[in-house]
Amino acid sequence: MKSTIGKCYALAGVALLAASLTANLASAATPDEGPKQSVVKYSDLDLSRPKDAHRLYSRIKRAARQVCDNNPSSDLRLLKAYESCMARALNDAVERVQSVKVAEIHQADMRFSRN
Query: The pTM is what?
Result: 0.71
Tell me the domain boundaries of the chain: 4-114
* Amino acid making up residue 1: M
Measured CA to CA, the distance from residue 2 to residue 45 in angstroms comes to 14
| Distance in angstroms between the alpha carbons of the first and the last residue of the chain | 37
Task: Please list, in sequence order, all residues whose beta carbon lies within 8 angstroms of the beta carbon of residue 79, skipping any fewer than 6 positions away.
Answer: 72, 73
Task: Give per-residue pLDDT as tens, 76-110.
Answer: 888 888 888 999 999 999 999 999 999 999 999 99
Query: 40: Cβ–Cβ under 8 A, 6 or more apart, which residues?
Result: 11, 14, 56, 59, 60, 63, 93
Measured distance CA(76)–CA(87) in Å, rounded: 17
**CA pair distance 85, 24, nearest whole angstrom:** 12
| pLDDT tens for each residue of 43-69 | 999 999 999 999 999 999 999 999 888
